[in-house]
Structures are given as C-alpha cells and as structure tokens.
C-alpha cells in the first residue's frame, strides 16, 4: 500500500517538489515507518530520544554524553541505548571501554573495541564511567537486556535512582516508544538542499519535526532555522547550543589542558560528516595546522592510512597528530611515529534547557 499523500512543496517548513529518486525513497521510508509503528513496544522506564532529521553531524554523541552526565547529577540512573553503526557485534551487549579479561560464565555479553561496538558507542563508553552503554540494533531488546542484567550493573547504577533510557540517534527508530523526542539541527546548514535522500541530507520531510518535543539548534545561533522549526511545530521548545573543547587526551587516556596545542605544529585528520568543523576547532585552539586530511564518516583506518599520515606529519615537521574522539578509538591497535592526541568536545546548551527537559521528564 502506497502512502496516502506525498509531502507537498511549500514556501515555509516544507519540501521542494519530489524528484523520482526522492519519490522512491519516500515510498520506502513511509512503508518502513508504518510497519515499524505497527510493532512498536514500550519499556517500563522513561525513554528520551536524541536524534536528527538529516544525515551528517549535528552533535548527537556529545549531546547524549551531556544528557547522561546531567541525569546522573539529578539523581537518575541513565542507560544509553545505541545502534552501534558498523559495529560487528550481534545481539544486545554492553559496550566496555577496555578489555576486562576473558569472558566468564554468567556474565552478560559485552564488546570492548570500536570494531565490535562501533566508534560512537565506544566514545560514549569511555566518557561515561558508571553509565551502561548497550549496543543493539533493536533498541527495545537492548532495553530489556539492560533491565535483565541490572544486578550485574550494580554498583555502577544507584539502587535508589529511577532508570532513564537515552535513545541515541532514535528519531527514526519507531519500534520503541519514547516519552520525549529531542531533535538536533545543525545551525550552520540546517536542511541543506531541502531534498531527501539520496539527493539531499533529509532523512524525512520537514513535517516530521511535528513529532519533536524539543529542538536544539547546534553550532550556530540560527534564528531563521528556529523560526522555521516553530512554523512547522509551534508546541516544540526550541533551544540553541554550542560546543566547547573539554580537554586533550592521548590514545592511552592521559589528559592534558587545551593550552598544550597552542603554537604547536600539528597534522590533523578525521572521519566525520562535517570535517571542516573539526579543522576550525584545531585552528581556534591556537595550533599551527601544517596539514589536514578528511576521510569519509566512520572511516575504518588501514595500515596504509597510518603510514600516509605519519609520513605527511613528519615531512611537515609536526610535533603531534591530532584527531577526534570518534577516530582515536579506532586507532588503539596502531603504532604511530608521532604522539597522537584527540580533542574532547562538550555539548553546551542554553541555560534553561536541562530544567525544561527534566521538568518534562517529571511529567511523563
């Protein structure tokens, strides 16, 4: 059965007329959504989704980390549910920041590498000490798995605290009911060409923002994007956020202040949807950027990549190789000719965002 109606092109808050390729994508998207919604299930705890309406980097991972940290501070026991994009591990499992010895009988399944867990779940597990991160393509099954093994998670979870599930990249995961939907929008490029996949960045029509309870415009204070969001969804609370550099970290976990890169010759590289944002971050830290290589998002590094990066950095007289948290977790097994550093990024929302969010959680 085909969708009853296609999204019409509008002058505000809508799509341009659909091309044939977008039309085919929209049919597949609509059928998948309808099928998933028919089989939607609920967990017995509050679920908050963080997602977006476009492909590419809107900052979901730093936002999920920040929400989990704030939830801990407010007396919750947060659990992150994540798909683990490109991770090889099958079925629900806990993501652990490091190997903890051989598997023991009775212990719940776990994975401890970016190859098995995916790069973003590994970043969350390393940053969120004491917060369980569960990889599962089916987030409902991941939540059931986490609740089943709550006893094994103690004392990392407080026994007297309510569980709060954080659904990472969940706006299009319709199989799991949620109490709140938070949508992130890149303020530097909110909706791109306004075309849907595969011709543009939109995962859904802009009208899908009507499902959002809260919208956060990231990276830039784009008032035009905020006005457009309000036109599509007047009931959604709209906030802005920025990102700050929290620190510098080595591959082994050693921490340094951000000032260490000032006036240092560095070679930077990343595998992000928006590499320019990372390049600008390195420059703003006062580093002398002698070279920069951008790979595709979620790039899997090879020995030849490492040789290339090392040779380029040495030829340019660099002191450090610099990358992102998302990339460094995939480089643990490589030996590099120069010290490798990553830049830790923190999500900084408007004042009032967390109060508004947790007051909604209290009412859910």
pLDDT tens-digit series, residues 60-69: 999 999 999 9
* 94: three-class secondary structure by DSSP: strand
Q: What is the pLDDT of residue 11?
A: 36
Say if residues 212 and 181 touch (Cβ distance below 8 Å): yes
* CB-based contact 230:285 (threshold 8 Å): no
Alpha carbon distance 13, 65 (integer Å): 30
Helix (H) or strand (E) holding 147: helix 139-148
Rounded CA-CA distance 289/267 in Å is 6
Angle formed by the axes of helices 60-73 and 353-363, nearest 10° = 70
Q: Does pLDDT of 106 surpass 70?
A: no
Arithmetic mean of pLDDT, 331-358 = 95
| 281/7 Cα distance (integer angstroms) | 38
pTM: 0.90
Between 107 and 137, the higher pLDDT residue: 137
Which of 166, 132, 131 is CA-nearest to residue 43?
A: 166
Contact between residue 290 and residue 317 where contact means Cβ atoms under 8 Å apart: yes
Q: Quick one: pLDDT at residue 313?
A: 97
Distance CA 21, CA 43 (A): 36
Residue 232 has pLDDT above 70, yes or no: yes
2 confidence band (pLDDT: 50, 70, 90): very low
Average pLDDT on 330-343 reads 93
- Is residue 87 a contact partner of residue 121, using CB atoms and an 8 Å limit? yes
The rounded Cα 41 to chain-centroid distance in angstroms is: 23
Determine the Cα–Cα distance for residues 288 and 266; give it in Å rounded to an integer.
6
Q: Is the omega angle on the peptide bond into residue 14 within 30 degrees of 0, that is, cis?
A: no
Contact predicate 24/161, CB 8 Å: no
> What residues pair up with 247 in beta bridges, in sequence order?
344
Q: What pLDDT does residue 153 have?
A: 64
The half-sphere exposure of 14 on its side-chain side, counting CA atoms within 13 A, is: 10
């Amino acid at each position: 059965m085909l969708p009853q109606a296609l999204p019409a092109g509008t002058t505000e808050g809508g799509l341009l007329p659909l091309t044939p390729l977008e039309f085919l994508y929209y049919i597949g998207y609509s059928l998948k959504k309808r099928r998933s919604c028919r089989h939607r299930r609920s967990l017995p705890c509050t679920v908050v989704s963080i997602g977006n309406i476009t492909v590419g980097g809107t900052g979901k991972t730093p936002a999920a980390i920040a929400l989990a940290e704030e939830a801990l501070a407010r007396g919750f026991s947060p659990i992150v549910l994540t798909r683990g994009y490109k991770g090889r591990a099958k079925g629900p499992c806990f993501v652990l920041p490091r190997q903890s010895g051989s598997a023991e009988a009775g212990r719940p399944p776990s994975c401890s590498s970016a190859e098995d867990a995916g790069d973003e779940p590994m970043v969350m597990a390393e940053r969120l000490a004491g917060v369980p991160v569960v990889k599962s393509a089916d987030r409902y099954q991941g939540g059931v798995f986490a609740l089943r093994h709550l006893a094994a998670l103690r004392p990392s979870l407080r026994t007297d605290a309510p569980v709060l599930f954080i659904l990472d990249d969940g706006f299009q995961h319709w199989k799991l009911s949620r109490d709140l939907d938070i949508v992130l929008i890149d303020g530097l490029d909110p909706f791109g060409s306004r075309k849907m996949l595969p011709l543009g960045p939109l995962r859904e029509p802009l009208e899908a923002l009507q499902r959002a309870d809260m919208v956060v415009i990231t990276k830039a204070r784009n008032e035009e994007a905020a006005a457009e969001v309000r036109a599509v969804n007047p009931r959604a609370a709209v906030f802005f956020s920025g990102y700050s550099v929290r620190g510098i970290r080595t591959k082994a976990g050693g921490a340094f202040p951000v000032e260490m890169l000032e006036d240092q010759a560095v070679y930077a590289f990343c595998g992000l949807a928006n590499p320019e944002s990372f390049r600008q971050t390195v420059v703003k830290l006062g580093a002398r950027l002698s070279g920069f290589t951008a790979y595709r998002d979620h790039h899997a590094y090879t020995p030849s990549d490492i040789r290339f990066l090392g040779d380029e950095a040495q030829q340019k007289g660099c002191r450090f190789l610099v990358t992102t948290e998302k990339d460094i977790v995939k480089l643990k097994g490589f030996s590099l000719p120069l010290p490798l550093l990553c830049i830790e990024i923190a999500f900084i929302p408007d004042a009032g965002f967390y109060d508004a969010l947790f007051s909604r959680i209290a009412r859910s």
